Amino acid sequence: MNHVVYRRADGHLHEIWWTAADPAGPIGHNPLTPAAKATLAAGDPVGHADTTAVVNVVVYRAVDGHVHSLYWSDGPTGTDNLSGAAGAPPAAGDPIGYCTPHNGAHQVAHRAVDDRLWELWWAAGSNAQAFCPHPADAPAAVGNPSGGYVQETNTKHLVYRDADGHLHDLAWAPGSGMPARTDITAASLAPGAADDPVFVVLPGSTTSRVVYRGIDHQIHEIRWN
């Protein structure tokens, strides 16, 4: 199945879906927030799939400042106030989310009102917990982070931009404590960033990649193992 989730002008989130095996077939539509009676969205949604439990998950910044989730499989759409339940600070930007395939755990990260990065994580059947992976000596974050999980090295990454346009990588193994921080802009002698980064890892690869728009108005890639 292919899914597109979008925010309407009234703050409701809707889904358009279709079957990849039949691209010429019918296109379906689901009103996600109305069906779940969920809090309206203030920012853009992002989705990911839990392939272990076969669940679709959409996370978003709501009008109450908290990070909320919508989730569904074949039944009704459910909703949770993730940051509120976990006791995390309200969000100042839009979240990202992904699922680690080896254990079906969910990770959702966002920039909070204190300009630090916060992670909300949970496994199937458990409540969300909050973790601040932003080291005390790390510069404040600007914009929205990006990140993901490198399965070959069992490493989670969060990449963000600071006020000087430098990109910083926070890397750690799940459950290992405070991440190691690398100024990947300085380390690679790359141009500063003018916009939010995008983190990419190819299946089976140990190479992390970040793509961004530089202050020279060109698209740049930084990659490392």
For 139-158, how does the pLDDT look when each residue is reduced to its tens digit (9 = 90+)? 999 999 999 999 999 999 99
Whether pLDDT at 179 is above 90: yes
The label of the residue with tokens 């003018």 reads 194
- For position 150, what pLDDT does the model report? 96
- For position 137, what pLDDT does the model report? 93
Between residues 18 and 50, which one has the greater pLDDT?
18
Whether pLDDT at 125 is above 90: no
User: Measured between alpha carbons, how far is 14 from 30 in angstroms, rounded to an integer?
Assistant: 6
**How close are the terminal C-alpha atoms of the chain, in Å?**
32
- Fold (CATH) for 1-132: Neuraminidase (2.120.10)
For 12-46, how does the pLDDT look when each residue is reduced to its tens digit (9 = 90+)? 999 999 987 777 778 999 999 999 999 999 999 99
User: Measured between alpha carbons, how far is 92 from 89 in angstroms, rounded to an integer?
Assistant: 9
The CA angle 43-47-52, to the nearest 5 degrees, is: 150
Q: Residue 33 — φ and ψ, nearest 5°? A: -65, -40
- For position 55, what pLDDT does the model report? 87
Q: Three-state DSSP class for 186?
A: helix
Give the sheet arrangement for strand 117-122, strand by strand.
96-100, 105-111, 117-122, 129-131
Whether pLDDT at 60 is above 80: yes
For 68-118, how does the pLDDT look when each residue is reduced to its tens digit (9 = 90+)? 999 998 777 899 999 999 999 999 999 999 998 878 899 999 999 999 999
Taking all residues of the chain, what is their mean pLDDT, rounded to a whole number?
A: 94
Here the tokens at position 73 are: 């499989």
Locate the DSSP E strands across the chain: 2-7, 13-18, 28-31, 46-50, 55-61, 67-72, 78-81, 96-100, 105-111, 117-122, 129-131, 142-150, 155-161, 167-172, 180-183, 198-200, 208-213, 219-224
